[in-house]
Structures are given as structure tokens and as C-alpha cells.
Amino acid sequence: MSHKNPLHIPSPFQANEPDMTPEQKEQQYVHSVYQVIAPHFSATRYKPWPVVEEFLTTMPAGYIGADVGCGNGKYIGVNPNLFMVGSDRSSNLISICGERGHEAMVADGLALPYRSGFFDFAISIAVIHHFISPERRVAAIEEILRVVRVQGRVLIFVWALEQTGKRDFDKDVQDVFVPWAMPKKAEPKKEKSAKSRPQGVKKKDRKAVEAAAAASSSSSATEDQTLDQKEVISENMEKLTLQDTTTTTTNESSSSSATASTSMSDPTSSETADPAAPAAPVYNRYYHLFQKGELEELVSRTNKATIVQQGYDRDNWWCIVEKAQN
């Protein structure tokens, strides 16, 4: 008998309101979500993927690289002979990155603040699949290529539609919501929560919940399948696009606010709740799942790079591209 965690089941992407702009959709279904889940997300992200590790460790000493969408910066220190600068749209993830002593800044992947042609290489790991349209995905690749020098190489990873891991994706649906469940097992570390409360979510959307995040209790967030049981983070969590996991992931929490807050969880009961119970706060992230060949097709649309290597690893399509002369 298989044990499919209901929190691993994605659903077709559907915007809360039909006339949302691409920017608004990414704001609500990507940026806002990462702001809130940042500490817990970060606790599950520390083991480098082998392809990325090899790409970085085979770079010549002294090379300067950009990690665009670096999250908590887990790749920045992989090769100490390189100098890497990380950027991410989430200020909460960048704070974690900065606390680790990495060069880090908050920046949008479609408008990088770097001089053109500066970097010897760049990486974009699990980022491009969060852009909502093919045009924006191409623009994101173009922007990375802009800041890399001619012959500089870029490693890109995106989530695959064809993945056969713990998630069952409908092979006909490429634009999906993937739930992220905050673990509910509370740890008595509340002294930290006030200090490290996520910043950057509009105040009017704030509705703090004492949903302490204990990385040990939830199997739903172990996308790396390498969750460190000891890494426990206690946070004063804020909610947005919050839903009861038993409901569908469409607009049941819709309201006039772009970041509707509806809680099905009772914070006071969180310490005793069963981790599999349906009251865990769940945040839906937007993903575009890539078909075989689709990433390469986007790269070729830029007309600015050639594909050096490509492959499939850990539920992702990846490729290494080299910036062309013109």
C-alpha cells in the first residue's frame, strides 16, 4: 500500500482573480509564499545537488559567479575558490543567506542590478519555473545571459513534468499549485520568534499565527528528502494564500485582498495536533513544470547562447549554456 501524503498532491494552477497581471500572480503565488515559508524552507535546503556541485567545483579558481534566485545561499560556499554573489526576490531568504556571511542582495530576476558581461558564470537553480509565462521565462534567461560575459556558462535547473518521485503530476497540466505545508509541531523557542519574524509582507496582510515551525515533524516539506531532524526553527508565522488542506486549492479563501488570509488552523492546538491532520497551514506555490526539451527551446529563443550539456536529475531538467559572441 502506498502512502501518498495529501500535501504532496498538486492541483491545477488557478488565479484568485481572472484579471490578475503576471506580476500580481507571481507576487501572490511565489514571492509572498517564499517570504512566509522562508525559515522552514531554508531548513530543508542545505544539501547541494550533485550536478550543481560539480558545475561549481570544476570552475577555475578565482572565477566570479552570480547565483540568481539563490534562496538561502546553499550553493554560494560550495567552492571556496570562487567568489559568488547571490540574489533572491525574497528578503527573508536573503537575510538567512546574509547571516551566513555570503554576498547577498534582494533583487528581481527580470531586472538584475549588475553591470552587463560582468560574471564568469551564473547558476539558476529551481527558479525559472516560477515565472508565469513563456515570455517571462525567456526574459529571465536573457537577463542572466546579459550579466555573464561572452563564453561564460550558465547552469539552469527547472522542475520536470515527467518526474516520477513522490508527487504525481497530471501529465497534461503544466501550470500547477504545489502545496507547502508548515509543520505544526510547536517547539518552545518563542523567544526567537519576535526577532526573526519575516519582513516585507504588507502590514495589512499580516495576521500573525503562533505556528511554530519544527522541521522535524512534517514529511511534506522534505523536497530534498534530506531534512535535518535537528534543525528546528521557531517562527511567528504569517499567513497568506492559506488554506485548509482538505479543500481544493482554488479560490476558497478569496477576498478583496490580493493576499487573502484565511486560517483553518487553531494555533492553540498546534502543539498536540497530528502532523497529518488537515489543519496544517498550507501555502500554494505556482510552478510551471517543464517538458523534455522545453528548457532548451526557451534558451534557443534568446538567440544569445548555445547549449553545452543537458540532462535530467532529481526530478529536474537541467542544461548548461554558454553565452554566444553576439
Partner 1 sequence: MRLITHNMLQCHVKGCNANNFPLELQEVVLEQEEAELNEDFLRNMLGKIEYEALVATCLKLDINDLPAAMPADAAYNDEFLQILHRVILETHIKSGKMVCPNCQHIYAIRDGIPNMLLAEHEV
d(C-alpha 310, C-alpha 313), whole Å: 10
135 sits near partner 1 (criterion: CB under 8 A): no
Q: What are phi and psi of 196, to 5 degrees?
A: -105, 25
As given in the structure block, the three cell numbers for residue 59 are 570552475
Q: Is 26 in the site for partner 1 (CB under 8 A)?
A: no
The interface with partner 1 within residues 258-277 (CB under 8 A) comprises none
Which triple of cell numbers denotes residue 303?
538567440
Compute the CA torsion angle 271, 275, 280, 282 (nearest 10 deg): 140
Q: Which residues contact 51 (CB under 8 A, 6 or more apart)?
A: 155, 157, 311, 313, 318
State the minimum distance, in angstroms, from the CB of residue 21 to partner 1. Answer: 9
The least CB distance from residue 199 to partner 1, in Å, is 10
Minimum Å gap between C-beta 128 and partner 1 is 18
Question: Site for partner 1 (CB under 8 A): which residue of 105, 208, 273, 276?
Answer: 105
Helices 91-99 & 32-43 angle (0-180, nearest 10): 30
Q: Can you tell me the distance from the alpha carbon of 83 to that of 104, in angstroms, rounded to the nearest whole number?
A: 12
CB of 62 or CB of 188, closer to partner 1: 62
By beta-carbon proximity to partner 1, the closer residue of 116 and 247 is 116
Kindly provide the residue ranges of all beta strands, DSSP E only, lying in 36-102, ordered along the sequence: 64-68, 83-88
Cα distance between residue 198 and residue 214, in whole Å: 16
* Residue 175 touching partner 1 (CB under 8 A): no
Over the window 66 to 95, marking each residue x when it contacts partner 1 by CB under 8 A and - when it does not, the resulting string is: ---------------xxx-x-x-x-x--xx
Residues of this chain, 31-70, that bind partner 1 according to CB under 8 A:
60-64
Least gap, CB of 166 to partner 1 (angstroms): 34
Q: Which stretch binds partner 1 (CB under 8 A): 36-44, 107-115, 257-265, 289-297?
A: 107-115
Per CB under 8 A, does 107 bind partner 1? Answer: yes
Which one of the spans 103-111, 160-168, 171-179, 203-211 is the region binding partner 1 (CB under 8 A)?
Answer: 103-111
Residue 9 vs 139, nearer CB to partner 1: 139
Q: Give phi and psi for 135, each to the nearest 5.
A: -60, -40
CB of 120 to partner 1, least distance (A): 7
Q: Is residue 135 within a helix (H) or strand (E), and if so which, with residue range?
A: helix 134-147
Residue 76 near residue 70, CB atoms below 8 Å: yes
By CB under 8 A, is residue 110 in contact with partner 1? yes
Any residues with CB less than 8 A from the CB of 3 and at least 6 apart, and which? none
Shortest Å, Cβ 105 to partner 1: 5
Residue 99 CB, shortest distance to partner 1, in Å, is 9
Give contact residues for partner 1 (rule: CB under 8 A).
23, 60-64, 81-83, 85, 87, 89, 91, 94-95, 98, 103-108, 110-115, 118, 120
